[in-house]
Amino acid sequence: MKDRLLTPGPAEVPPETLLELAKPVFHHRTKEFRAILMAVTQDLKDVFQTKNDVLIFASSGTGAMEASVVNLLAPGDKALCVRGGKFGERWSELCERFGARTINLDVEWGQAVRPEAIEAALRKDPDIAAVYVTLCETSTGVAADVEAIGKVVATSGACLVVDGISGVGAMPMKTDEWGVDMLVVGSQKALLLPPGLAFLSVSPKAWARIEKAPRRAYYFDLRAARKALAKEDTPYTPANTLIAALKKSLDLLKKEGLEAVWARHTRVAQATRAAVEAMGLKVYAARPASALTAVLLPDGVDAEAARSLLKKKYGVAVAGGQDQLKGKILRIGHLGYADTLDLLGAIVALEMVLAEMGVPVPLGAGVAAAQKALLAR
Ligand SMILES: *Cc1c(COP(=O)(O)O)cnc(C)c1O
């Protein structure tokens, strides 16, 4: 049986990149590696749609989230955190940990934050230093309207920091056009790489705050990273083999074209949602993202049991729910290298697993709806 990794990160990696990862380890202080580092930095800027600085760290995505908090905020600064799921909670926890006065904007799980709510919070506390939001809240499958939020935040003195870890590469994210001051991305979601790299873009508005904030980070010191990058270098040993592999993955995205990459994700996401509805199940997110679909199973049906059957019988790995959603939802990742047939296969397997569990799902209904959605485009 084949393993099919359809979790919303880590996600499958294309063979071109895997082959690069199979090569011998090389030294990083060389002309060849400097060229790769600078090329990758430029390619990331293109994917993030920014002219801002982009810095690369050897960490999971959370490392770059931490960097965006510890560098930008001075203790006592006010931070507005949108909390509508696990990853919004992470923003809040990070801000608390580093001594910010954290203002939580709680959003019901499954719903998207209303930009007007952010506007109201900024009006109430005009000295908020930073607004922390999540492009794709991977715990609920909700997409935030970052474009509208950017318009609201731009009129204030606050910096807009976006966790785009699972969203970037799967859905539009126009950093400069939307006024995003810091964008956090991880390697193992839509960027076609294993876990291990994190990326952070920093705008001039964010740098101005960073330069005034006390220097509290060491490994994640953005000033040190920027200084080294100006000399085509990194302050510490970079994850050079991952960065070389990233070049291959970014080449693939470049070849396909960013707009085409986004359109592909939209298409597969729409087909997945059509399948879910045709199966009599519910899409959990009110404003669904294109990186994953969170599927709400009927009351009394154990989503964890469905998840383990999917893996055991069909080799399909999907994610379950977290916290209050544990046992209630399945999260199917359709980001990065996952293609149409991977998804159709997952839908077929889900229909069979649910039928086996006694859920009255008409066999073939989901896959037919997905096929229709795909052909209609
Ligand atoms: C995966 C994910 C993270 C966490 O990233 P790690 O790489 O596990 O540190 C943070 N935010 C979002 C939205 C994610 O999808």
pLDDT tier, 377 (very low <50, low <70, confident <90, very high otherwise):
confident
> Are the C-beta atoms of 360 and 280 separated by less than 8 Å?
yes
Residues 264-281: pLDDT tens digits?
Answer: 999 999 999 999 999 999
138, 162, 197, 242: which to mutate for ligand 1, most atoms within 8 A of CB? 138
CB under 8 Å to 362, separation ≥6 — which residues? 279, 280
The atom number, within ligand 1, closest to the CA of 136 reads 13
Residues 343-365: pLDDT tens digits?
Answer: 999 999 999 999 999 999 999 99
pLDDT tier, 204 (very low <50, low <70, confident <90, very high otherwise):
very high
- Does ligand 1 come within 6 angstroms of the Cβ of 139? no
CA–CA dist 162, 280 (Å, integer): 34
CA–CA dist 294, 329 (Å, integer): 6
- Does ligand 1 come within 6 angstroms of the Cβ of 62? yes
Alpha-helix residue ranges (DSSP H) falling in the chain? 15-21, 31-48, 61-70, 86-97, 115-124, 146-154, 204-212, 222-230, 240-256, 258-278, 303-314, 340-356, 365-375
CA–CA dist 69, 28 (Å, integer): 28
For residue 8, the model assigns a pLDDT of 98
- Does ligand 1 come within 6 angstroms of the Cβ of 87? yes
Other Cβ atoms less than 10 A from the Cβ of 360: the count is: 9
Residues 291-332: pLDDT tens digits?
Answer: 999 999 999 999 999 999 999 999 999 999 999 999 999 999
Pick the CATH number of 4-8+257-376 from 3.40.50.300, 3.40.50.1820, 3.40.640.10, 3.90.1150.10: 3.90.1150.10
Domain ranges within the chain, ordered by starting residue: 4-8+257-376, 15-255
Tell me the CATH number for domain 15-255. Answer: 3.40.640.10
Percent of the chain scored above 90 by pLDDT?
Answer: 100
Terminal Cα distance for the chain, rounded: 32
**What's the chain's Rg over C-alpha atoms?**
21
* Ligand 1 centre distance from Cα of residue 295 (Å): 19
Closest CA to 238 of 184, 187, 169, 282: 187
Other Cβ atoms less than 10 A from the Cβ of 228: the count is: 16
